[in-house]
Structure 1
């Protein structure tokens, strides 16, 4: 079967785009959730054109072979993990920026364009592409669309779904579907574009995207506020948002995360703190906004508020936040990175609950959060070589998701479901919601070939 599959794929793909060496294909088996189960791919393909992607899907349909679409494999939920005997379809070579239009404020890109590359390209035209996941130097626009990615600036500028205007998608049988628009407005028919955003490659393969751009904002200034408790930090977040401030960034790091960042990069962050809040503004007068927010932090119980003096100092603070997940990964041999989003008013309850879970299970669990939108990232650190500790890690992970739902939240704010949260998606959606979502999957992929076993 493998020989027949490889021969069929090579009929329309160049030899270098069809990889069969087991040592090479094994490197495509999983995303960054390396502890999630993964199968062995039969073949990895790296198409460069839409027609090549269509050929892959037609071949897969004819031979009834599952296909797992992949971007840069920076995902954290196993959504890009291979299934046994599949075709891994990597869009990494489809990496062209096709158009930047400053009048309509759009860019047209292929899925393999790296987020940071697009951001820098549009910046040269006085524009910005706001969604900025922590992995923005590596992750691709196609992967961001697949997971519905967010980032640090979401509190002001929103998430990926709010910037995707239109898509070209290759369906399971090789047909090409064009959704959405490139105009500022458009409500013709069902919003299929939004349906594909966050679908994790289960409905089709994105081969082109029209994304909205914004005028480049002024350089932002940031401050750091040190709190003696997560409750005080949570109160400050509520006060900032209730007062009508619109920060470009509002991020929270607990004490475990602060110490991990210092251990990795010697950043000199205050290790006496129980919670470190970072706020930034890109307004015409950011210093005045920071002063107002600093006063609110002090009123909420901050023991120290330190505003950055310039953009370079601000970027240093933000860099500390961006390296949080990497720093926590160094605490032990493995991590499970949760992605629970709760109402802002329950943020302190979430952090305090996670601390209790860490104590109950005897584990190190650090939390960094997009505090401005309530999206928390509890990171469970454990020794993957220890079966007992691995069991406790999985149970603590489940306890954190249960806590999030109990607080009125959702199991994922931006990382997606993948393999890691399948059971919890069913709990959040309920029987009717799950039935309808499975029905949509069957409409687009009646043979169940696209990224099978993910989501539900």
Structure 2
């Protein structure tokens, strides 16, 4: 049973937010009890502020009464970062969903955190602009959530992640203070870079209430390559070649044999192969053929089976629709899935792929690997039946081995999903005690009472 909140605190929130802005009914609590990690804890209440002033007052009330506060966007995250803890309240940014300004001359947009990525892209199209981050949930995920976990997506290989595409923020610290950092400019050597510190902090340092986003002109045209290889190692070696030459692909996706089998099982027209790369370039009509030629030359090499070009239109869309269908289709192999988005230097992708294949054989479980190879960011999916005690145990025993392999290759625990609860306890393996101490010092400075999303990101001392 959820602990009761202090009467004075509840009265403050009722007065601040009104009946429709502060809810404790079962329907509201259940709707905000989990994210896409499927972890589940009922909050003690859900707040729906309409503006930054209400967020400031809400944080100050939580600080006064020592009530933990968990910010939430659309709930599409996979690490448990938006899952409340017992006795905490959830702050939903669903009502702070306005696009405040689109400034084509400055190539930026000013938005509230509840704006959906897909809605922003639609609003930018008439201006010939887009915001580059494109996670698989782009149509339904929020900008605030993208910033909180530093979301990326396939386009990140050329255009960068959320952190690379934000210019400034307005945020409320755990002390209830409104801070402003950055602005509608691309160069800034003034003081500490708080903007990029807050992006990726998963709501543990401050709550973003406004963001100035860096926009990019829409490309004139795009085209892609589908490249099939004898085995995963040959494809991984090709990734290293592709990223070592001057033309930067817009997207560079890797899929292993298990991924291809799954695509065929779900009706996609994918030939038999040991692995596949999807490579895309964008540009204008004059330069694009030369870009594709350079990428095709780099993709050729030992183990190549076939290389096909898909220009604009249905052929190209079919390729990417197949890639997007992969993650949900995994549950047709097994109902249980541990999906970790580890990152290694691009040159170490062959070793990561080989190591994951060895773990699959060692633990007797299917492990399907695909992802954003151009950034060294691969999604390692350990598949198992949760009701099979042996498979369950082996899957969870394999997980730390995946992380150990990644770190041994000079990599890191996450490229775009974040840490949340899922990877928190592995942070001590990824960072030295002194580095973690510095992170805790920053947390203490911005959130002195530890009320913002406690228990996430940083491991227990």
Fold-level similarity (TM above 0.5): yes
Contact 1:261 1:328 in 2 (8 A): no
Q: Which residue of 1 aligns with 2:187?
A: 185
Q: Contact conserved, 2:370 with 2:378, CA < 8 A, in 1?
A: yes
- Name the counterpart of 1:7: 11
Distance in 2, matches of 1:184 and 1:24, equals 40
Aligned position for 1:269: 270
Write out per-residue CA displacement over residues 118-167 of structure 1, whole angstroms, 9 at most, x where no aligned residue. Answer: 12211210112111111111111101110011110111111111111111
After the TM superposition, which of the residue ranges 299-308 and 15-24 deviates more from structure 2?
15-24
* In 1: Cα distance, 2:6 partner to 2:306 partner: 66
Distance 1:277 1:207 in 2: 39
Change (3 A) 1:242 1:44: same
1:27 aligned residue: 31
Deviations 1:217-240 (A, max 9, x none): 122101111111111101211222
Q: Distance in 2 between matches of 1:17 and 1:269?
A: 50
Which residue of 379, 384, 394 maps to 1:392?
A: 394
Give the aligned partner of residue 286 of structure 1.
Answer: 288
- Larger displacement relative to structure 2 (54-63 or 368-377): 54-63
Q: Is the Cα contact below 8 Å between 1:339 and 1:377 reproduced in 2?
A: yes
Q: Deviations over 1:62-107 (max 9, x none)?
A: 2111001111111111111110011111112211111000111100
User: What residue in structure 1 maps to residue 418 of structure 2?
Assistant: 416
Q: Residue 307 of structure 1 aligns to a residue in which SS?
A: strand
On the 8 A contact 1:366/1:378 being kept in 2, the answer is yes
Unaligned runs of 5+ in 2: none
Q: Which stretch shifts more, 386-395 or 107-116?
A: 386-395
Q: Which runs of structure 2 are paired with 1:234-383 in the superposition (5 Å)?
A: 234-264=236-266, 266-270=267-271, 272-284=272-284, 285-383=287-385
Give me the whole-angstrom Cα distance separating, in 2, the residues matched to 1:219 and 1:258.
27
Aligned to 1:132: 134
SS at structure 2 position matched to 1:352: helix
TM score, norm. by length of structure 1: 0.96
| Deviation for aligned residue 1:3 | 6.2
Q: Is the 8 A contact 2:175 2:446 kept in 1?
A: no
| Contact residue 39 and residue 85 of structure 1 kept, 8 A | no
User: Any stretches of 5+ residues in structure 1 without a counterpart?
Assistant: none
Query: Residue 41 of structure 1: SS of its match in structure 2?
Result: coil
Per-residue deviation, residues 257-299 of structure 1 (Å, max 9, x unmatched): 22223334x12222x1111100011022323332332333332
SS in 1 for 2:15: coil
TM-score w.r.t. the length of structure 2 is: 0.95
Output the CA distance in 2 between the equivalents of 1:18 and 1:404: 43
Which residue of 2 is the match for residue 77 of structure 1? 79
Residues 420 and 457 of structure 2 are in contact (CA less than 8 Å); yes or no, is this contact kept in structure 1? yes
Superposition RMSD on alpha carbons, in Å? 1.5
Q: 1:109 Cα deviation (Å)?
A: 0.4
Contact between 1:353 and 1:403, CA under 8 Å: does it hold in 2?
yes
Aligned to 1:109: 111
CA distance in 2, matches of 1:171, 1:358: 44
Partner SS state of residue 454, structure 1: coil
Off by >4 Å, runs of 4+ in structure 1: none
1:46 aligns with 2:33: no
C-alpha separation between the residues in 1 aligned to 2:297 and 2:191?
A: 48
Inter-partner Cα distance in structure 2 for 1:46 and 1:392: 42
Q: 1:320-341 CA deviation, whole Å, 9 max, x = no partner?
A: 1122211223432221111110
- Higher alpha-carbon deviation: 422-431 or 292-301: 292-301
CA contact (8 A) 1:105 1:213 kept: yes
Aligned to 2:430: 428
| 287-296 vs 387-396, which moves further | 287-296
